[in-house]
Structures are given as C-alpha cells and as structure tokens.
Amino acid sequence: MLTKVYSVTNFGLNATDVEVEVNVADKGFPGFGIVGLASKAVEETKERVKTAIINSDIEFPNSKITVNLAPADLPKDGACYDLPIAIGIITATSDVKLPQEKSFFFGELSLDGSLRHTKGVFLLAVLAKETGVKNVFVPRLCANEASVIEDINVYPVDSLKSLIRHLKKEKEIEPLNTVNTDDVLSDIKADFDFSEILGQEQAKRALEIAAAGGHNVFMMGPPGSGKTMLSRAMTGILPNLTERESLEVTKIFSITGNIPAGGSIIRNRPFRSPHHTTSQVGLIGGGSNPRPGEVSLAHRGALFLDEFPEFSRNTLEALKQPLEDGYVSISRAAGSVTFPAQFILIAAANPCPCGFLGDLKKECKCNAHQIINYKKKLSGPIMDRIDIHLNVPAVGVDKLMINKSTDLLAEKSSEIKIRVARARSIQTKRFKDISNVHCNADMKNKHLKEFSKLSDSANLLLKQAVNKFGLSARTYFRLIKVSRTIADLAESEEITETHVAEALQYRIRNNDY
C-alpha cells in the first residue's frame, strides 16, 4: 500500500515541501530502503524508525518498504524525517488515518518512540503559514518555536504512541496557543554593566556611538585594560530587538540548533565570541550543505573577535564581504544560499605579541621584527572597513580604587541605552522609505548627500584631514557616517565641525595597524 506524508527540507534559511512517499509491498523480499538524495543521517533513519515502532507496541511489517523523499533532486539531511517516515509506515499497514487537510510531520525519534529536540522547527512553521498548511506535528521540546506563528495549529508531540492515539481520536493532543511576540521580547541581559567598568571613559563614549549607529570598532590595548569587559557590556546598551529583527535572528538560531529545548523566539540581541582558532567555515559559514557561521549568528547583534591578529589571514580576509554588504553568499553544486550578516564587529588586539609595547610600567620583550609581523597580520582593506579605532590604555590605580563618590558618578548601561534608543529612533524615521538601511552604518554612499548635510566648517575640516593623513575614499565616507551618528546623539540635524572632530579622533590614532 502507498501512503504520502508531508514534511520539509531546509536549504540555507528557506524551507521547502517534501513528500514522504511510503510504499509497503506484500511481494518481494523484506527490506527497508530510502531514496531521494538522502544523506547518511537520513539513511540511519531506518534503524531508528524500526526500533521506535516496535518499542511503541506497534507491529513492524515484514515486507518490502520503499521510502521516496520527493523532489528527488533536492538534498535531504538530518534526522527530521524519522517521524513522517514512521507515520507513513503505520498508516500504510493499519487503520490509522492521516488528517484530511494537508499537515506537516517533523521530528527525530528516540529508540523508545519519544521525540527529541529537532532543529529547524521555526522555518517549518514559517513555510506552513506561507503555503496555507494548517497543522504541524513537531516534538514538544521545540514546539514553542512555532507557537509565535499565527494561523497554524502547532501540535506538541511527546512520543509516537501519543501521536497514534491522536490520529485514532482516542486521546487528542491540544494545539498550543499562539504567543504574541510582544509578550516574549525583553530587555537585553549583558554580562557587565558600564557602571562596573572603572575608567575608560573615552572607550565607553566610542561604544555608545557604535551602538547608536551600528559601527564597527577596533580596540588596541595591553592585557587587562578592559577590552573584553567593554565588549561584553556592549549588548546592554543596544536597543531592544524589534519583532522583525527577532524573527530574522530566530530563523538563524533555529536552523543551527541554537534554540534550547523549550525555547521560543530569540529575545535578546546576539553576542558571539568565537575563539581565534575558528576556521573560515566556522566564522563565515559554508559546508557541503551550507550552514550559517558566526557572522550570521551575530546578525542584529555584536561579534567580538578577541586576539584579532591571531585569526588566520584567510579567515580575516573572508570578513570583507559581510562587513561591506551585510550578508554572506555561498555557492554549492546544489544551489546558492544567502545568509544575513548585519552585525557590529568588535575586534580587540594587543599592541605587540607580548602586549606591552608603549607601556610606561612594563617593558616590551618583543623585537622589531616580531612587532612588524604581528601588525602585518591585519590587512589594510580589513582595517579600512572598521569605523572606530580606539586605544584602550591600562587603568591607573587611582581609578581602580572603589569609593562611594566614583560609584555615584558612574553612568549605568540603562542610562546610555536611552540615548542610543533615541538616536536609533531618529535613524528609523530617516530611513523608513529605504529598504535594507536601518542605521547610519547601513547607508550607501548615494544616501550620504541626502541624509548627511555637513556645515561649511565641517566640510573644510574633513578635507584637511583626508589630505594630511592620506585617508582612503572608503574611510572618508565612513567618517561622515560616524559624524552623522554623533550628530544624532546630539539631536542635531546638521553635522557640525565638532561632530567631525570627534569622529576623526576615533579614526587616525591607530594608523600603525
């Protein structure tokens, strides 16, 4: 007997319908075969499905079973086809009936018949809404991912046995209530508060500008100067995710399995901090079946690359496209995928291999050759794409002494966040009619003339700086973008000489790199 069950396959960040055709033949030698461009993980489904059906007290047919995953030219990967294949076998050999309306079945089976947490459920729910599929049957552990999508019935399934009882109408599974995204979005929880960071006032101001305009930051300073602490406090001043941004991030986290069991949509802006031994594929994304890398997992959040020069040269050079375009394009024989990658890069480095070049108290032990080779690891094109360059010196002992007066003067992240949110609100209104431009850093050069009006004195100062320091055309335009953000923080429509002067001091101080 032939039966059809519907599921999905994920390629990139898009889900596609898959027909799971199951034929149980009375003639022929008993066997179990899967066709339809299935990966090794799908091939292993045979043993899981057979054992799960038997352990669910259901007779497994001693017949020739053929499973076709259509369309056959589309790669199928992962263990998500366990449930639809099992249901196909059961409905083909018993009185169990599938729902009359088209439904998606999706999930990995344990050997005891229970369903495991399976990645990609959010994309399945999005496809169900787009194609008009009303019912989706998914593991209970990841059902909350789909509960934020309206107009579909999400059935949280605990086990194969409970799903069979539902289909036979013996004990029906109650669908989850749709969750309003406004009810789950929350304030960002950062590891550190800016008030906890002693000294480094200039660095705090620079990070405020970066958060307000979406600008990339490079910090150079000796070990222990606070670069990591400053970076981890950054997410505490970023504005809350909007509903649209949250759904974008959730797609990426769902397909990579980064949403924990029982979790729903992503509430906080991502903060990713990969080790410097991370490969190019790990950072940028890729693989035979392309998966997002760290730059995409940091989408709408921050990517912190500590020990920046220690990353491989090829890995750093691969950052150029996402830094410039805000997305990553990966081409494979099966097709091309595009992953979003609009993030704030926070890169940190020491001034030399030992970290104490230029330190007034500790002697640098590196020779000139070591220092030159260390700095040559960062190419000019990469550094040119970073808007704000900071020196983060060691904090003096006087500022490290904690007392009530310094504690009262320290500005909290929540206070800085208000100014950042106000500046972002100005930018949202400014770019409301322009697609793919959400903050000042996203502006293309053609937008600068319309939205970044400079005063005569500001224009003159910028021209003098370009001539004196030999700045590139890219640097020139990025200086205007940073100046635009500083003006937004001051709620000034015109970019003045003061705004340009502050932007310049964040650009020309680290020209050794």
pLDDT digits (tens, 9 = 90+) for 306-342: 999 999 999 999 999 999 999 999 987 767 899 999 9
In this prediction, residues 413-425 reach a mean pLDDT of 95
Residues 12 and 97 in one domain: yes
Q: Is residue 226 part of a domain?
A: yes
State how many domains the chain has: 2
Residues above pLDDT 70, as percent of the chain: 95
Give the pLDDT confidence of 142-183 residue by residue, as tens digits: 999 999 999 999 999 999 999 999 999 999 999 998 877 665
Cβ neighbour number for residue 228 with a 10 Å cutoff: 18
Same domain, 167 and 204: no
Q: Are residues 149 and 18 in the same domain?
A: yes
Alpha-carbon gap, residue 328 to 75, rounded angstroms = 21
Residue 287 banded pLDDT, cuts 50, 70, 90? confident
Q: What is the pLDDT of residue 331?
A: 85
Q: Write b or e for each residue in 353-377: b if 16 or more Cβ atoms lie within 10 A of its Cβ, otherwise e.
A: bbbbbebeeeebebeeeebeebbeb
Euclidean distance between CA atoms 395 and 224, whole angstroms? 9
Q: How far apart are CA 346 and CA 415, in angstroms?
A: 21
Please check whether residue 403 lies inside any domain of the structure: yes
The CA distance from 383 to 360, in Å, is 26
Model pTM score: 0.90
pLDDT at 185: 55
Which tokens go with 415?
A: 């206070």
Which whole-number Å values give the CA distances from 125 to 117, 120, 136, 157, 315, in the listed order? 15, 9, 7, 15, 34
Confidence of residue 403 (pLDDT cuts 50, 70, 90): low
Q: Dihedral sign, CA of 388, 391, 394, 396?
A: negative
For 54, half-sphere exposure in the C-beta direction (CA atoms, 13 angstrom radius) is 10
Average pLDDT of the chain is: 91
175 in the same domain as 245: no
Question: What per-residue confidence (pLDDT) applies to 180?
Answer: 72
- In terms of domains, do 227 and 348 share one? yes
**Predicted local distance difference test score (pLDDT) of residue 91:** 95
Contacts of 134 (CB under 8 A, 6+ apart): 101, 102, 103, 128, 151, 152, 153
455 contacts 484 by C-beta, under 8 angstroms? no
| Side chain identity at residue 153, one-letter code | N
Domain boundary, last residue among 179, 205, 237: 179
| Residue 23 scores a pLDDT above 50 | yes
Least confident of 89-98, 248-257, 361-370, 420-429: 361-370
Answer yes or no: is pLDDT of 386 > 90. Answer: yes
pLDDT at 398 over 60: yes
pLDDT of residue 407: 54
pLDDT tops 70 at residue 256:
yes
- Given a contact cutoff of 8 angstroms between Cβ atoms, the answer to whether 234 and 190 are in contact is yes
Would you tell me how many other CB atoms lie within 10 Å of the CB of residue 49?
28
d(CA 112, CA 19): 26
What CATH number is associated with residue 145? 3.30.230.10
User: Are both 233 and 362 inside the same structural domain?
Assistant: yes
Phi, psi torsion values for 345, nearest 5 degrees: -85, 130
Model confidence pLDDT, tens digit, residues 31-60: 999 999 888 889 899 999 999 999 999 999
Is position 421 within any domain?
yes
Whether residues 252 and 155 share a domain: the answer is no
Do 241 and 371 lie in one domain? The reply is yes
Res. 408: pLDDT tops 80: no
Q: How many residues does the chain have?
A: 513
User: Among 398, 422, 439, where does a domain finish?
Assistant: 439
Out of 232-246, 275-289, 471-485, 499-513, least confident range: 499-513
Residues 283 and 285: their CA atoms lie apart, in Å, by: 6
Q: Do 259 and 376 reside in the same domain of the chain?
A: yes
What residues does 175 pair with on adjacent strands? none
**Does residue 358 carry a pLDDT above 70?**
yes
The mean pLDDT value for 385-402 works out to 82
Task: Tell me the average pLDDT across 382-411.
Answer: 77
* 56 and 171 part of one domain: yes
Residue 496: inside a domain, yes or no? no
Domain residues for the domain of 419 are 194-439
410 has a pLDDT exceeding 80: no
289 with 330: CB under 8 angstroms?
Answer: no
Which of 412, 439, 466 represents a domain boundary (last residue)?
439
Which uninterrupted H or E stretch holds 291? strand 291-292
Lowest mean pLDDT among 43-57, 262-276, 386-400: 386-400
Same domain, 328 and 435: yes
Closest CA to 33 of 14, 53, 49: 49
Pairing, β 103-105 against β 135-139? parallel
3-state secondary structure of 269: coil
On the question of pLDDT at 254 being above 50, the answer is yes
In a domain, 414, yes or no: yes
Q: Spell out the SS3 assignment of 14-25.
A: EEEEEEEEEEEE
> Residue 511 has what pLDDT?
46
Which CATH number covers residue 305? 3.40.50.300
- Amino acid 28: pLDDT: 80
Cα-Cα end-to-end distance for the chain: 69
490's CB contacts (< 8 A; 6+ apart) are 499
Element housing 504 (H / E): helix 497-505
Q: What is the DSSP string of 405-457?
A: HHHHHSPPHHHHHHHHHHHHHHHHHHTTTSTT--SGGG--HHHHHHH-PBPHH
Cα separation, 146 vs 139, in Å, equals 11
In a domain, 246, yes or no: yes
Statement to judge: residues 201 and 311 lie in one domain: yes
What does the pLDDT read at residue 404?
A: 54
pLDDT in tens, 207-235: 999 999 999 999 999 998 899 999 999 99
Residue 328: DSSP 8-state: E
For residue 446, being part of any structural domain is answered with: no
CA angle 394, 399, 404 (to 5 degrees): 155
Q: Is 199 a residue whose pLDDT tops 50?
A: yes
Above 60 in pLDDT, residue 406? no
> Is 475 inside any structural domain?
no
